[in-house]
Chain A
Amino acid sequence: MTDATKEAVIRIEGLTRKYEMGNSTVHALRGVDLSVEAGEFVALMGASGSGKSTLLHLLGCLDRPNEGTYWLEGVEVSSLSRDELADVRSKRIGFVFQNFNLLPRFSALENIALPLLYRNGQIDGDEQQVRALDALSRVGLADRAGHQPTELSGGERQRVAIARALVTQPAVILADEPTGNLDSKTGEEIMHLLDELHEEGRTIVMVTHDPNIARHASRICSMNDGVLQDGGSQHVVA
């Protein structure tokens, strides 16, 4: 970006999401505004049911808001079709899940290359291999390329999942309780990796309920009952 007034990677305004549950309506998000600048590491905190996961899903283009607008790298994505959203996910978003969500019976390398398969053949097989191996090296598991998820430890699986999120060079990495299924020591290692990625300039938005984990972020946004507290501008002084 040449312009000093750099465009926010994520900008949402008045985002509302409600679900019909039988006769009642659940308001998961009640008009959320948030802006995430490039290179920021944002932690979304809140109790379960606070709407933080719903917000993450909307940010990840897995879902569409009922109201409000979402600009991802300046492009409005809140009114895209299902397939257009899929396209956005494959190019601009990297997911890291609590339960890793690696495909069983697929090697670490194949799992990492998976997002590249859905690029409509723009990236050929050799290039996919190179990029996947690159991403795997970045998380320090180059020697585990041929291992299947069952042959990896929890921490290693999450590293592979992070590599999968990195492989498309996305605009933002969205992590949903990335240490939730790991012991505290391994969790710290994963957080260390995310810290490194942050230092390299990557934009990360992470959902967590653990203050010790949230502390790694450059900014913590607390959610409560579908509303972002303090306008989402509580900066961490580490």
Chain B
Amino acid sequence: MSLLDLLRTALRSVAANKLRAALTMLGVVIGVASVIAMLALGNGARAAVAATFESLGANQIQIGQRFAMEDSEFQGVGEKLTYTDGLEIADTIPLVERVEMSASKTFKARFGKNTVDVNAIGTTRDALEGIASSGEIQPVGWKDNASLTAEDFIGEGRIFTADEVYAGSLVCVLGYQTALDLFSGDNPIGETIWIDRERCTVIGVLAELESTDVQERYRSDPNEGMLMPISAMIQNLYDEEPSVYMVAHVTDADRIDDAKEQITNLLRERHHVEQDEEGNYKDDFDMLTRKDILGQQQEAATTFSLLLAAMATVSLMVGGIGIMNVMLVSVTERTREIGVRLAVGAKQRDIVSQFMLEAVLISASGGVVGIVLGILTIPLAAALNQGVALLLPGSIPLAFGVALLIGFAFGLYPALRASRLDPIEALRYE
């Protein structure tokens, strides 16, 4: 029998039982959709890890106060991580080259009659390098292929110097929009503005910035806010010392674990962290390196992918068994037809091909629907997995291949059974 004739025959049989075929497909549909979602999550996690690699340098350690759920509230644990802690780390640990620190708070800023609520970020001098290397924000219209330096972020004036940070000078660099809001287009450089009850000299304005991630652009505006030396902010604008966020830069990336251990020891000593009965330290700070983030993300993605893989396997198995069941019923129902076909000259392979093709047709249709469904569920899967899901074009033929494979694997037995029928018995079958 020619392939075209076979296909026509199989199509007819499937079309004769549309509802049955549709219900039989369900397992394959869900299975294939799971395969698509699983692959998307895996790829997304890989992409996210790659992105993390760029945002956190190989020689960097993020340090922050530990937070935990207490009385159904997310609260800081133990002592705050202070500016002085950061200075001490930079001073006493030779492996640490420098420590970037930042803290942020919203203040009222005023110039003349203009008043705005502004989120001030207190930083060390190298804040802009950190932003530049993160790759999350770029000057408007920046070409993707050109690499960014700290200088590219400055629109007018300058960023504060190391001396100004050291001295705690009340100087600030305004965001592009904030400068417009306060000065209505006049040149702000050298002017003095009021931040709460303190006077602060404007030494620079940032370039107009945008997020590199297009979706992110609708969520936050990097042009509102200001930068000032963290020392000045802590001394003058806080009632009590804030907890700061740090990034320690290690001189040798290969010795990052040594540095981590030394920082841990230093902070435990400074924060008087004690051991419990089992000898565990109840640290009040958390440290994160590239390796840690990679591990966490892979763990999350792996867990979720495993779940989906299990779901895919189960539903593909159930779907396959469903197909086998329906095909066995079909073979029984059509015993006489098989007998007639054998009597008029059908060979065993003709009968095998016909029933195999029917099974594959059902699973392939299920595969197509499953692929569409899988693509539609990617946003949902992404939401459950911290927003990382990425569909690679190669996943679609792969998922379709799985569907075909199910059809072949589970259609084989019924098809062989059909082909092995004794023509005389089959013709007599009532």
Q: How far is the CA of A91 from the CA of B345 in the complex (A)?
A: 8
Is B427 touching A89 in the complex (CB atoms < 8 A)? no
Q: How far is the CA of A130 from the CA of B2 in the complex (A)?
A: 18
Q: Mark A181-200, 1 if CB is under 8 A from B, else 0.
A: 00000000000000000000
Nearest-neighbor residue (CB-CB) of A54 within chain B: B424
Cβ of B2: which chain A residues have Cβ within 8 Å of it?
117, 121
Q: Contacts A63-B424, A87-B345 given; indicate if A101 touches B1 (C-beta within 8 A).
A: no
Cβ of A57: which chain B residues have Cβ within 8 Å of it?
424
Q: How far is the CA of A89 from the CA of B347 in the complex (A)?
A: 10
Cβ of A102: which chain B residues have Cβ within 8 Å of it?
340
Contact for A105 among B12, B342, B346, CB less than 8 A: B12
Contact for B337 among A82, A90, A103, A121, CB less than 8 A: A103
Is B343 touching A95 in the complex (CB atoms < 8 A)? yes
Is B345 touching A101 in the complex (CB atoms < 8 A)? no
Cβ of B345: which chain A residues have Cβ within 8 Å of it?
86-87, 89-91, 115, 118-119, 168
Cβ of A83: which chain B residues have Cβ within 8 Å of it?
347-349
Is A89 touching B340 in the complex (CB atoms < 8 A)? no
Q: How far is the CA of A136 from the CA of B133 in the complex (A)?
A: 83
Residues 48-90 of A at the B interface (beta carbon under 8 Å): 57, 60, 62-63, 82-83, 86-87, 89-90
- We find that the number of chain B residues with CB closer than 8 angstroms to chain A is 22
Nearest-neighbor residue (CB-CB) of A92 within chain B: B345
Q: Mark B331-355, 1 if CB is under 8 A from A, else 0.
A: 0000011011111111111100000
Is B348 touching A114 in the complex (CB atoms < 8 A)? no
Bin the interface of chain A by size.
20 to 34
Nearest-neighbour CB distance to chain B for A56, whole angstroms, equals: 10
B70 at the A interface (CB under 8 A): no
Count of inter-chain pairs, beta carbons less than 8 A: 63
Nearest-neighbor residue (CB-CB) of B1 within chain A: A117
Q: Contacts A63-B424, A86-B342, A103-B337 given; indicate if A117 touches B347 (C-beta within 8 A).
A: no
Is A114 touching B424 in the complex (CB atoms < 8 A)? no
A164 at the B interface (CB under 8 A): yes
Nearest-neighbour CB distance to chain B for A168, whole angstroms, equals: 8
The CB with the most chain A CB atoms within 10 A, among B339, B345, B349, is that of: B345
Nearest-neighbor residue (CB-CB) of B336 within chain A: A101
Is A62 touching B336 in the complex (CB atoms < 8 A)? no
Cβ of B339: which chain A residues have Cβ within 8 Å of it?
101
Nearest-neighbor residue (CB-CB) of B423 within chain A: A62
Cβ of B427: which chain A residues have Cβ within 8 Å of it?
62, 97, 101
B19 at the A interface (CB under 8 A): no
Contact for B340 among A60, A63, A87, A101, CB less than 8 A: A101
Nearest-neighbor residue (CB-CB) of A57 within chain B: B424
Contact for A87 among B16, B342, B347, CB less than 8 A: B347
Instruction: List 7 additional A-B contacts (Cβ < 8 Å) besides A89-B344, A105-B16, A121-B1.
Output: A63-B424, A103-B337, A114-B344, A115-B344, A118-B346, A118-B347, A164-B344
Ordered by A's residue number, 7 sampled pairs between the chains whose C-beta atoms are within 8 Å are A62-B423, A82-B348, A86-B346, A89-B345, A101-B340, A114-B344, A118-B1
